[in-house]
């Protein structure tokens, strides 16, 4: 008791000493978040453009709680709602202390300790400022020393308050084969929620990213805007609450729906990271901030090259044998690809994986299809001077499998309820450490037995239903939605520690699992199972708002397309796919001689320009949502190289074509242009091509391009002349 009294005295003394401290300034190159302690409460004073050191606002009082808690005068949605063991539903967060530490040349971590003055309940807020990327990452942690569990009902990663005349929310919706569609609405008084309750494939219908435009809708290059992204692979929630005073409270984090959490004594509850960035120069600058941050600080191997690959899926689906795969491997090598990817269907013996209704979970090589094993395929790739990759879906199981026969208790299920199948499969319970070990060992063993495997496509093809766990205690069933996400990230952390050089693709029935929590352990992701080039223009446009090109897998597929049956020119398909990380499902055996020659040259060209695409700044120019033509370009950091893309989506009689302008170049530099991906027998699409252009001319006057008919396209390589 004396120790507790002494601790309380020290905490109170610390609070008094720090009440009058200087404002807590969390700064990036161009942005600033200012907090202040007033009467022991942590307040947000300011968020926006970076202020001078002598700014008068530094002396202002904070109007908004930096991190709100339920129960003591708070009448809005809150960041934290904890119910103590004695039934008290309120929490007070008094300031205890703050530290700021440098983590590398351009990263600063601010740590703020808060404590309830009555209960031994502690909250720690973290703010990590990425100076050069103009981005702030925040998260929170809770811990207590009460004798019995404290139940958490709300647990936001972060809270942000804004005060403007109006707010416009841009969010992104979708479904299978139609992911990442841009929607914009004005926020009116009340609450707007963007969330998911799917458990897995959590980004299928909504995405955990958004823009908030201040005072008016922002464009690519104009307007005040805040961009937000949450790093969490399971249920999430973004909540936007606007009051009658035109004040906006933003809360984001794990979705508290049906997820109350019994926090035990000394257990640490950590929320996922929320990233946000501010710009007064439109959405495009926010995108570039996120792209540069992801490449530099977040993506696994974010500064490394990527493999261009050929996949067998659309060529064979589940029906293949060694000669068929050997032929595709040889074709991939001749085309100039880096890697061959073996997709679904290679495993299962008692229950062979010849369709999606059996075998999932039995990760032994199918002896009938592949009598010589995976090692033989790896050697075939080595002999053909390319690398080998393989498909896995280790979080899932078919009821028709040996795994399910041995461990029916390992799947997510409710007692006394029938299983509900989707795609003939169930979800393994990653809240269970034994299941986590199984998933890890599945991947680990395969990679150890075949050390030359260079690439893994990690799929996840269904959401959680019947959300219950045979592992969790009855009073902790609501933990499942949180513990599943934690379990997945724990497995990936172990996989990455043991196999840091293997490249991993993040897939979720297409773009159903695309979040920065997962991407921390992956090199790249699959945006959609829909490879139709026209729809990919829109899907990739949406993805580019927050995710960099180096991580976005874009494949050339067959015509007519297998998903939409649309027929598009091979050039259009290549031009669209070459704006991200190039791959191909189209098989050379279905192409004529001219098409094969075109594809080979396009792949060689891509290898020459891909560094600009991977590391350059993206500028979106003409939006497919607003025009019959979509244009964009990447510009290298030194502004000495660029790649420009123009896609005609629809053609209309007597339509006047615009001059096609670029962005992001140095106005004073001189550039030469080279049209790439010209199909044999076709001429240049540029009218009156000159030898040199200034950057100012290309950005302000623009070029005349001949784009005729639906699905015509142009790609230009731009290089500085010295």
Active site residues: 459, 529
In whole angstroms, give the CA distance from residue 610 to residue 151.
50
In whole angstroms, give the CA distance from residue 640 to residue 504.
31
User: Over 498-520, what HEC string results?
Assistant: HCCCCEEEECECCECCCCHHHHC
> CA–CA distance from 10 to each of 4, 6, 27, 97, 187 (Å)?
10, 6, 30, 11, 45
Residue 675's Cβ-count burial label (10 Å; 0-12, 13-18, 19+) is middle
In whole angstroms, give the CA distance from residue 368 to residue 352.
9
With b for 16 or more beta-carbon neighbours within 10 A and e for fewer, the 495-513 pattern comes to beeebeebbbbbbbbbbbb
In whole angstroms, give the CA distance from residue 254 to residue 223.
30
Q: How many CA atoms lie within 13 A of 467 on its CB side?
A: 21
Cβ neighbors of 554 (< 8 A, separation 6 or more) are: 527, 536, 540, 576, 577, 578, 579, 580, 581, 582, 583
Q: Which two tokens stand for residue 325?
A: 């795969």
User: Over 117-142, what HEC string results?
Assistant: CCCCEEEEEEEEEEHHHCEEEEEEEE
Contact 148, 261 (CB under 8 A): no
Closest by Cα among 369, 389, 378, 386 to 331: 386
> CA–CA distance from 391 to each of 245, 346, 363, 457, 499 (Å)?
53, 9, 11, 5, 16
In whole angstroms, give the CA distance from residue 70 to residue 154.
9
Closest by Cα among 114, 149, 110 to 126: 110
Cβ neighbors of 258 (< 8 A, separation 6 or more) are: 197, 467, 478, 481
Q: Which two tokens stand for residue 196?
A: 């998911």
Contact 253, 158 (CB under 8 A): yes
Which runs of E-coded beta strand occur in 486-600? 503-506, 524-525, 553-556, 581-584
Residues composing the chain: 722
Q: What is the DSSP string of 433-468?
A: HHHHHHHHHHHHHHHHH-TTEEEEEE-------S--
In whole angstroms, give the CA distance from residue 679 to residue 442.
45
Sign of CA dihedral 473, 475, 480, 486: negative
Ramachandran category for residue 565: left, alpha or beta (phi over 0 → left; psi -120 to 50 → alpha): left
Closest by Cα among 322, 324, 277 to 128: 277
Closest by Cα among 163, 153, 210, 211 to 64: 163
Cβ neighbors of 54 (< 8 A, separation 6 or more) are: none
Cα 588 to the center of its chain, rounded Å: 32
Cβ neighbors of 547 (< 8 A, separation 6 or more) are: 290, 291, 294, 514, 519, 525
Cβ neighbors of 27 (< 8 A, separation 6 or more) are: 33, 50, 108, 129, 131
3-state SS, residue 639: coil
């Amino acid at each position: 008791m004396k120790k507790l009294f002494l601790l309380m005295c020290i905490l109170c003394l610390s609070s008094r000493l720090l009440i009058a401290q200087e404002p807590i300034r969390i700064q990036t190159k161009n942005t600033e978040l200012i907090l202040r302690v007033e009467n022991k409460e942590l307040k947000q004073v300011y968020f926006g453009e970076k202020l001078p050191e002598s700014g008068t606002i530094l002396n202002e009082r904070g109007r908004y709680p930096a991190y709100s808690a339920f129960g003591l005068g708070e009448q809005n949605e809150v960041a934290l709602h904890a119910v103590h063991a004695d039934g008290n539903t309120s929490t007070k967060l008094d300031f205890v202390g703050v530290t700021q530490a440098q983590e590398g040349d351009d990263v600063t971590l601010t740590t703020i300790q808060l404590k309830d003055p009555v209960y031994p309940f502690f909250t720690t807020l973290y703010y990590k400022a990425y100076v050069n990327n103009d981005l702030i990452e925040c998260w929170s942690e809770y811990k207590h020393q009460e004798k019995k569990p404290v139940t958490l009902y709300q647990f936001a990663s972060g809270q942000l308050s804004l005060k403007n005349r109006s707010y416009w929310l841009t969010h992104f919706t979708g479904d299978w084969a139609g992911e990442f569609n841009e929607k914009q609405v004005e926020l009116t008084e009340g609450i707007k929620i963007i969330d998911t309750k799917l458990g897995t494939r959590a980004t299928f219908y909504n995405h955990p990213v958004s823009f908030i435009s201040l005072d008016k809708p922002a464009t690519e290059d104009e307007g005040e805007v805040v961009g937000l992204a949450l790093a969490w692979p399971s249920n999430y929630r973004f909540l936007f609450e606007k009051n009658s005073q035109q004040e906006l409270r933003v809360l984001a984090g794990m979705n508290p729906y049906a997820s109350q959490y019994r926090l035990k004594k000394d257990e640490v509850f950590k929320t996922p990271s929320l990233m946000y960035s501010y710009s007064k120069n439109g959405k495009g600058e926010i995108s570039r901030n996120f792209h540069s941050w992801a490449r530099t600080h977040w993506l696994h191997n974010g500064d490394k090259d990527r493999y261009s690959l050929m996949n067998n899926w659309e060529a064979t689906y589940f029906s293949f044998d060694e000669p068929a795969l050997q032929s595709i491997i040889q074709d991939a090598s001749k085309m100039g690809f880096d890697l061959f990817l073996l997709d679904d269907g290679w495993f299962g013996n008692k229950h062979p994986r010849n369709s999606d209704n059996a075998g999932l979970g039995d990760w032994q090589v199918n002896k009938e299809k592949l009598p010589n094993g995976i090692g033989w395929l790896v050697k075939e790739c080595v002999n053909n001077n390319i690398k080998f990759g393989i498909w896995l879906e280790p979080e899932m199981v078919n009821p028709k499998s040996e795994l399910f026969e041995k461990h029916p208790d390992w799947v997510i299920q409710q007692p006394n309820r029938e299983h509900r199948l989707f795609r003939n499969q169930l979800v393994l319970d990653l809240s269970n450490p034994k299941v986590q070990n199984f998933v890890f060992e599945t991947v680990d063993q395969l990679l150890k037995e075949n050390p030359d495997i260079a690439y893994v496509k990690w799929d996840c093809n269904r959401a959680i239903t019947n959300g219950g766990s045979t592992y969790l205690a009855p009073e902790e069933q609501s933990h499942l939605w949180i513990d599943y996400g934690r379990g997945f990230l724990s497995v990936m952390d172990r996989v990455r520690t043991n196999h840091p050089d293997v490249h991993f693709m993040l897939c979720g029935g297409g773009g159903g699992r695309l979040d920065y929590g997962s991407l921390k352990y992956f090199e790249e992701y699959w945006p959609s199972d829909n490879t139709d080039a026209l729809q990919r223009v829109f899907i990739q446009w949406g993805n580019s708002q927050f995710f960099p090109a180096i991580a976005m897998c874009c494949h050339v597929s067959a015509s007519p397309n297998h998903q939409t049956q649309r027929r598009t020119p091979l050039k259009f398909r290549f031009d669209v796919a070459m704006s991200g990380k190039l791959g191909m499902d189209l098989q050379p055996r279905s192409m004529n001689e001219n098409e094969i020659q075109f594809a080979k040259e396009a792949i060689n060209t891509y290898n020459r320009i891909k560094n600009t695409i991977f590391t350059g700044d993206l500028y979106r120019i003409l939006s497919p949502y607003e025009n019959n033509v979509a244009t964009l370009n990447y510009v290298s950091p030194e502004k000495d190289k660029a790649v420009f893309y123009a896609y005609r989506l629809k053609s209309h009689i007597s339509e006047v074509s615009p001059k096609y302008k670029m962005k992001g170049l140095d106005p004073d530099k001189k550039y030469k242009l080279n049209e790439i991906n010209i199909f044999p027998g076709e001429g240049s699409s540029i009218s009156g091509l000159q030898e040199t252009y200034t950057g100012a001319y290309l950005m302000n006057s623009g070029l005349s391009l001949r784009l005729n008919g639906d699905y015509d396209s142009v790609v230009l390589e731009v290089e500085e002349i010295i």
